[in-house]
Chain A
Amino acid sequence: MTKRDINMSKTPDFEDLQQRLNLSRRSFLKTTAAGAGIMAAGGLVELKFGKEAKAFAYEPYPRDDQLQTVVTSCAHNCGSRHMLVAHKWKDVIVRLSTDDGRYQRGGYYGKDGNEEPQLRACLRGRSYRQRLYSAERLLYPMLRVGERGEGKFKRVSWDEALDFVAKKMIHLKNTYGPTSILDQSYAGASYGVLHKSDQIEGLLGRFLGMFGARTSSWSVPSYQATTTSSRWTFGTIQDGNEDDTYAESKLMIMWGWNPAYTFHGGNTFMYLRMAKQRGCKFVIVDPQYTDSASAYDAWWIPIKPNTDAAMMAGMAHYIFSNNLQDQEFIDKFCMGMDEGTMPEWAPQSVNGKENFKDYILGKYDGQPKTPEWASKICGVPAKDIKKLADMYAKTKPAALKASWAPGRNAYGEQYSRMAAALQAMTGNIGKLGGCAEGVGKAWHAEAVAYPYDQYANIWFQSIKSDRWAHCVLNYPNIKREEIGLWPRQDNTDGQIPNIKGIFWQGSDWFNQLTNINKEIQAIKKLELVVCMDSTITPSGIWADVLLPVATHFERHDVALPWYKGHYYIHRPKVIEPMGESKTDFQIFTELAYRIGGDVFGKAYNPKANRDYFNVNDNVDEAYLREWWEGKVMHHQHVDMSWDEFKKHGVYKFKLDRPHVAFQDQVEKGIPFQTPTGKIEILSSELANIEDWTKTKYGYHIPSIPKWIEPWESLNSPKTSKWPYHLISPHPRWRTHSIFNNCAWLRETYEQEVTINAADAKRLGIKMGDIVELWNDRGKVVVPVYVTERCMPGVLVLHEGVWMDLDKNGVDRAGNPDFLTLDNPSPAGAFAYNTVLCNIRKTDLEHRPGWDKLATSRAHVFRRDD
């Protein structure tokens, strides 16, 4: 064992500290990165002395200043992007810290505040080393040997794995044609400007498109309702403000929004606190009294799931009938809000004859959408609907933040559009402290450093993402509208894709899409399932080939903000790739060479040579430098050089004015990006559709926002058999399914179903009991959390837990997607939150995995005095 000399002569309290840290005894073991050993030991093996020096050691105890400091960031689709600072010893990351104000230009320890706030990581980010060094880390290429889903694999060489994939791909394309391979890439585990796994235009899409076999998946699981809605209404999905503007609101209505869980945007939650301190009033419309509700001291309005559009219609009725709308704003910027803002072509259009106000007042169907009418549907007392409408119409500026979750429903797009109508009629669009979100994407980052050309998004058919199993199981006897086929301009328009293989890149979609039992049926029919990931995920278990992908700690990239925030974070290669893992860019490049020789290889990765699979550093650096110099410095007027950026690790933009969506439209009269240049409450696209089956929607959608009864809810007759409405929000302790295997996170939160206390009492269920939840689609087993903080009739089970099936197909882990229905909304929204089911105490086995360590419930105290 070698002692490490520490120069502490400058520290006055040297003796005391030495005693404290016991440095002579806690001297750091020299470690050798040993890929093979890592997985077995969950730590690093000290080869020379045969002693363990773990990545998770209480001792030896090096101080930060003795370690090398490397700025990097998180890299997945959590809805945010925070800084991680790796403190490493040789090739081992010993601990992580986060932004403390030191790293940007002109920064210093402790610098914080509105202009350049620290980008502090959340609990998931802070637990990253557990993911990096986890037992589930995928280190070698593997080939399936058992049945699909049985989880039996053998280790193979890269040669063998890649040749297997290449041959299969060629076979599929030659036999079944250009739609035979389904692209299920997602931003799950691999998001940066260079190594990008993206649903639409990522590395995989470009690879399969160039190869000539790609069916793509167009609907986004989290927020398709508002994506489609904002495109119709505003002509863009950039409908968001930067998070610092939240501090300027006087009223904040958080509709289904829980940033205390989702950390939406770099510092959203902190700016909301600032707003509260300045006297902003908070309202939460949600079936749960969330941690956001308590932290912002909000007025909680519990609402029946999937009835949001009805309540909003009730609010609109109150506003119109009391003449509280901002008529000047409406007249100037809106189309179709009322009779006076109807376009000339309306009477001749197929679907565009109705205006929003007259719909609300009941002129067309004889049913005024009064607060009393809405109350019967949504369960909110009419007086509360009126009170909220009154507050919203009279407080200026007021933010109605219409979050994504209520849109993940049957006809979720109606909720999103109804919200936009309210935002517009109160004149809160384009104003500081107001809000037009929606999608919420704000500041625009330069997002692409990888080769981007005419091949970036080639597809031969494109389907609604959660209809792939339906497509595979029923091929070719399906109508195009059943799978939401995107129209094509050539003679392949309307052809049903013949999917025979799936590629997962940075996505655990098999675990995450709806109706998993149907997916299980479908996957058995495929001839090739490839999973590229750094972790052995539940999807991976169902694959034929597992390709180990280097994590973002093991490759060079730059992070961009995902949702809000204006900065770039450098992501150098902090440690060497573990095991035999390669970057996804390396894998696709190598496959391209194997399939199509130099022609395909060079075209796919123009800066690389044949040896890129083994040596990638210089090529990656060249792409990144070109991106920085060409796009960031040039387009975004950044004066910091690439080398200086690398030295600092972060670049934070200072904006001339707070970023507010549509400010120029409202202040300077620049047209909105819609066909008419107006805020289209009446969508001109929808108004003119004749044959719905020929559209990607497949089915009729009203041209103005309307309340449409969902196919199941607490109001439907099905409740006699399935009395509970299940919602599955995003958890705090995972990003979807990522981090599910991290013990640190699982000891603080457990996968459990939330139930209202009175419901539980009636069912004889107590806190911590094991229950089963079931419906026609499947059955799951979980412990229960009994609380007054949840609306009666509603169950909450967070998405993303790793499925764990018993021999009868019961999920012992509690994944809600065994109960969801693979029936998307016409606009493409996943109906994740449109689920009825039943619940009862059970003797069925629950397999908590790491959850047996969970102490979270022990830390919820009830007090009544």
Chain B
Amino acid sequence: MATEKKDVKKIREAVKRVKRATYTPVKPDMQLGFVHNNVDCIGCRACEMACKDKNGLAPGPRFRRVQYIEGGTYPDVFAYKVNMSCNHCAEPACLPTCPTGAIFKRKKDGIVDIDSTLCIGCRRCEAACPFGAPQFDPIEKIVKKCNMCVDEIEAGRKPYCVMACMMRVLDIGPIEKIWDGSLETVAVGKADKVSRQVKNMANIELTKPSIGFVAHSKGKVK
């Protein structure tokens, strides 16, 4: 990549300027977010299946995506998983791109959702999201994405993917608590640290995603 040649700081500032000029994000009373343990995840994708089934998705769109990362040279190899759906970002890049205002962010818990009755399937949000969260449904010709199983949250339960995790390494909670390690969750082991940024994911400065990870030693960013 040619990043060294560019003035990253300058670019970041420019991005901020543009964002402020176009959109002031909703400040939620409390922001919910995900936490995923990249190391202990076995990559089974039960979470993905639970999501597909709950949302009645056709083959194609995948709200939750367990990414497989591997490297090294035989026999000295490593592998880990980075699991993401929608990060319900503090500054969602998708939201301001929507021409019909179908995308909104909840005041109460910061969940970002799309009103499917307003979506015209222009796919701008899909292009704007640095994490690949909005998913185009080629049959219904609209964009759909994770809404953190808002119906389950309203019912006092946790999302389907979280409750599906065979290893109990995926969870949700108030994102500040996830980041400062005060959330009580078995997803994070006693010796584990939670990081906001890991390799193989876009720069968190772009949208301030509400997600934390237990990073693999090879997936840590300095």
Q: Hey, which bits of chain A sit against chain B, CB under 8 A?
A: 11, 13, 16-17, 19-22, 25, 54-59, 61, 63-65, 94-98, 100, 109, 112, 120-127, 129, 259-260, 263, 267, 269-270, 273, 276-277, 289, 291-295, 297, 300, 302, 732-733, 743-749, 756-758, 787-792, 850, 853, 855-856, 859-864
Closest 5 CB pairs of A and B: A260-B42, A126-B49, A743-B59, A294-B79, A123-B49
Q: Are the CB atoms of B52 and A862 closer together than 8 Å?
A: no
* Nearest-neighbor residue (CB-CB) of A787 within chain B: B70
A-B contact pairs, 13 of them (CB 8 A): A17-B151, A20-B113, A55-B56, A59-B116, A96-B50, A109-B156, A120-B164, A259-B42, A267-B166, A273-B40, A289-B79, A853-B60, A861-B70
Please measure, in the bound complex, the distance between the C-alpha atom of A64 and the C-alpha atom of B117, giving whole angstroms: 22
* Nearest-neighbor residue (CB-CB) of B115 within chain A: A22
The yes or no answer to B123 lying at the interface (CB within 8 A) is no
- Given the known A-B contacts A95-B53, A98-B163, are A297 and B39 also in contact in the complex, defined by CB atoms under 8 Å? yes
- Of A54, A127, A748, most buried by chain B (CB within 10 Å of CB) is A748
Nearest-neighbour CB distance to chain A for B43, whole angstroms, equals 5
Nearest-neighbour CB distance to chain A for B73, whole angstroms, equals 6
Q: Are the CB atoms of A758 and B74 closer together than 8 Å?
A: yes
The yes or no answer to B58 lying at the interface (CB within 8 A) is yes
Instruction: Out of A59, A277, A788, name the residue touching B74 (CB < 8 Å).
Output: A788
* Nearest-neighbor residue (CB-CB) of B82 within chain A: A861
Q: Are the CB atoms of A853 and B157 closer together than 8 Å?
A: no
Please measure, in the bound complex, the distance between the C-alpha atom of A302 and the C-alpha atom of B77, giving whole angstroms: 11
- Given the known A-B contacts A123-B45, A260-B44, A292-B42, are A862 and B155 also in contact in the complex, defined by CB atoms under 8 Å? no
Please measure, in the bound complex, the distance between the C-alpha atom of A499 and the C-alpha atom of B105, giving whole angstroms: 68
Please measure, in the bound complex, the distance between the C-alpha atom of A123 and the C-alpha atom of B50, giving whole angstroms: 7
* Nearest-neighbor residue (CB-CB) of A42 within chain B: B58
Q: Are the CB atoms of A22 and B42 closer together than 8 Å?
A: no
> Main SS of chain A's interface residues?
mixed
- Of B77, B113, B160, most buried by chain A (CB within 10 Å of CB) is B77
* Nearest-neighbor residue (CB-CB) of A11 within chain B: B154
Nearest-neighbour CB distance to chain A for B79, whole angstroms, equals 4
On chain B, the residues within 8 Å of A733 by CB distance are 45
Please measure, in the bound complex, the distance between the C-alpha atom of A273 and the C-alpha atom of B187, giving whole angstroms: 11
Q: Hey, which bits of chain B sit against chain A, CB under 8 A?
A: 39-46, 48-50, 52-60, 62, 65-75, 77-80, 106, 108, 113, 115-117, 137, 140, 144, 147, 150-152, 154-157, 160, 163-169, 189-191, 199-200, 218
Instruction: Out of A16, A109, A744, A747, name the residue touching B106 (CB < 8 Å).
Output: A16
On chain B, the residues within 8 Å of A263 by CB distance are 44, 166
Please measure, in the bound complex, the distance between the C-alpha atom of A300 and the C-alpha atom of B70, giving whole angstroms: 15
On chain B, the residues within 8 Å of A259 by CB distance are 42
- Given the known A-B contacts A300-B77, A744-B49, are A861 and B68 also in contact in the complex, defined by CB atoms under 8 Å? yes
Please measure, in the bound complex, the distance between the C-alpha atom of A276 and the C-alpha atom of B137, giving whole angstroms: 41
- Of A54, A295, A859, most buried by chain B (CB within 10 Å of CB) is A295
Instruction: Out of A21, A22, A788, name the residue touching B73 (CB < 8 Å).
Output: A788
Nearest-neighbour CB distance to chain A for B83, whole angstroms, equals 11
Instruction: Out of B42, B53, B117, name the residue touching A291 (CB < 8 Å).
Output: B42
On chain B, the residues within 8 Å of A16 by CB distance are 106, 108
Instruction: Out of B59, B79, B189, name the residue touching A277 (CB < 8 Å).
Output: B189
Q: Are the CB atoms of A300 and B75 closer together than 8 Å?
A: yes
On chain B, the residues within 8 Å of A276 by CB distance are 40
On chain A, the residues within 8 Å of B58 by CB distance are 56, 743
* Nearest-neighbor residue (CB-CB) of B66 within chain A: A859
Instruction: Out of B67, B140, B165, name the residue touching A861 (CB < 8 Å).
Output: B67
Please measure, in the bound complex, the distance between the C-alpha atom of A277 and the C-alpha atom of B69, giving whole angstroms: 22
Instruction: Out of A22, A96, A745, A863, name the residue touching B218 (CB < 8 Å).
Output: A863
Q: Are the CB atoms of A260 and B43 closer together than 8 Å?
A: yes
Please measure, in the bound complex, the distance between the C-alpha atom of A860 and the C-alpha atom of B79, giving whole angstroms: 10
Please measure, in the bound complex, the distance between the C-alpha atom of A273 and the C-alpha atom of B54, giving whole angstroms: 28
* Nearest-neighbor residue (CB-CB) of A756 within chain B: B74
* Nearest-neighbor residue (CB-CB) of B152 within chain A: A64
Please measure, in the bound complex, the distance between the C-alpha atom of A16 and the C-alpha atom of B105, giving whole angstroms: 11
Please measure, in the bound complex, the distance between the C-alpha atom of A16 and the C-alpha atom of B106, giving whole angstroms: 9
Please measure, in the bound complex, the distance between the C-alpha atom of A758 and the C-alpha atom of B189, giving whole angstroms: 37
On chain A, the residues within 8 Å of B62 by CB distance are 747-748, 855
Please measure, in the bound complex, the distance between the C-alpha atom of A294 and the C-alpha atom of B151, giving whole angstroms: 35
Q: Are the CB atoms of B154 and A295 closer together than 8 Å?
A: no
On chain B, the residues within 8 Å of A122 by CB distance are 44, 46, 166
Q: Are the CB atoms of B46 and A123 closer together than 8 Å?
A: yes
Q: Are the CB atoms of B67 and A859 closer together than 8 Å?
A: yes
Q: Are the CB atoms of B68 and A97 closer together than 8 Å?
A: no
Other contacts beyond A126-B53, A788-B70: 13, CB < 8 A? A64-B151, A98-B50, A120-B46, A263-B166, A292-B42, A295-B39, A295-B41, A758-B74, A787-B70, A792-B74, A853-B60, A856-B68, A863-B200
Please measure, in the bound complex, the distance between the C-alpha atom of A55 and the C-alpha atom of B60, giving whole angstroms: 17
Instruction: Out of B41, B59, B75, name the residue touching A302 (CB < 8 Å).
Output: B75
Nearest-neighbour CB distance to chain A for B116, whole angstroms, equals 7
On chain A, the residues within 8 Å of B163 by CB distance are 97-98, 100, 120
- Given the known A-B contacts A13-B154, A295-B42, are A863 and B74 also in contact in the complex, defined by CB atoms under 8 Å? no
Q: Are the CB atoms of B199 and A788 closer together than 8 Å?
A: no
Nearest-neighbour CB distance to chain A for B47, whole angstroms, equals 8
Instruction: Out of B41, B66, B144, B155, name the residue touching A65 (CB < 8 Å).
Output: B155
Q: Are the CB atoms of A270 and B166 closer together than 8 Å?
A: yes
Nearest-neighbour CB distance to chain B for A860, whole angstroms, equals 4
- Given the known A-B contacts A292-B42, A791-B74, are A861 and B55 also in contact in the complex, defined by CB atoms under 8 Å? no
Please measure, in the bound complex, the distance between the C-alpha atom of A792 and the C-alpha atom of B168, giving whole angstroms: 34
Please measure, in the bound complex, the distance between the C-alpha atom of A744 and the C-alpha atom of B50, giving whole angstroms: 10
Nearest-neighbour CB distance to chain A for B137, whole angstroms, equals 7
Please measure, in the bound complex, the distance between the C-alpha atom of A745 and the C-alpha atom of B78, giving whole angstroms: 25
Q: Are the CB atoms of A21 and B150 closer together than 8 Å?
A: yes
- Given the known A-B contacts A56-B57, A58-B55, A297-B39, are A748 and B48 also in contact in the complex, defined by CB atoms under 8 Å? yes
Nearest-neighbour CB distance to chain A for B56, whole angstroms, equals 4
Q: Are the CB atoms of A58 and B70 closer together than 8 Å?
A: no
On chain A, the residues within 8 Å of B45 by CB distance are 123, 733, 748-749
On chain B, the residues within 8 Å of A758 by CB distance are 74
On chain B, the residues within 8 Å of A744 by CB distance are 49, 52-53, 59
- Given the known A-B contacts A96-B53, A289-B77, A743-B59, are A295 and B40 also in contact in the complex, defined by CB atoms under 8 Å? yes
Please measure, in the bound complex, the distance between the C-alpha atom of A792 and the C-alpha atom of B137, giving whole angstroms: 41
Instruction: Out of A97, A112, A756, name the residue touching B50 (CB < 8 Å).
Output: A97
- Given the known A-B contacts A295-B42, A859-B65, are A273 and B167 also in contact in the complex, defined by CB atoms under 8 Å? yes
On chain B, the residues within 8 Å of A757 by CB distance are 73-74
Nearest-neighbour CB distance to chain A for B185, whole angstroms, equals 12
Please measure, in the bound complex, the distance between the C-alpha atom of A732 and the C-alpha atom of B45, giving whole angstroms: 10
Q: Are the CB atoms of A17 and B49 closer together than 8 Å?
A: no
Nearest-neighbour CB distance to chain B for A372, whole angstroms, equals 20
Nearest-neighbour CB distance to chain A for B152, whole angstroms, equals 7
On chain B, the residues within 8 Å of A297 by CB distance are 39
Please measure, in the bound complex, the distance between the C-alpha atom of A260 and the C-alpha atom of B40, giving whole angstroms: 11
On chain B, the residues within 8 Å of A789 by CB distance are 70, 74, 77, 79
Please measure, in the bound complex, the distance between the C-alpha atom of A450 and the C-alpha atom of B59, giving whole angstroms: 39
Please measure, in the bound complex, the distance between the C-alpha atom of A788 and the C-alpha atom of B75, giving whole angstroms: 7
Q: Are the CB atoms of A58 and B56 closer together than 8 Å?
A: yes
* Nearest-neighbor residue (CB-CB) of B52 within chain A: A744
On chain A, the residues within 8 Å of B191 by CB distance are 277
- Given the known A-B contacts A270-B166, A289-B79, A757-B74, are A97 and B67 also in contact in the complex, defined by CB atoms under 8 Å? no
- Given the known A-B contacts A95-B53, A863-B69, are A64 and B155 also in contact in the complex, defined by CB atoms under 8 Å? yes
Instruction: Out of B140, B147, B199, name the residue touching A20 (CB < 8 Å).
Output: B147
On chain A, the residues within 8 Å of B70 by CB distance are 787-789, 860-862
On chain A, the residues within 8 Å of B151 by CB distance are 17, 20-21, 61, 63-64
On chain B, the residues within 8 Å of A58 by CB distance are 55-57, 116, 137, 140, 144
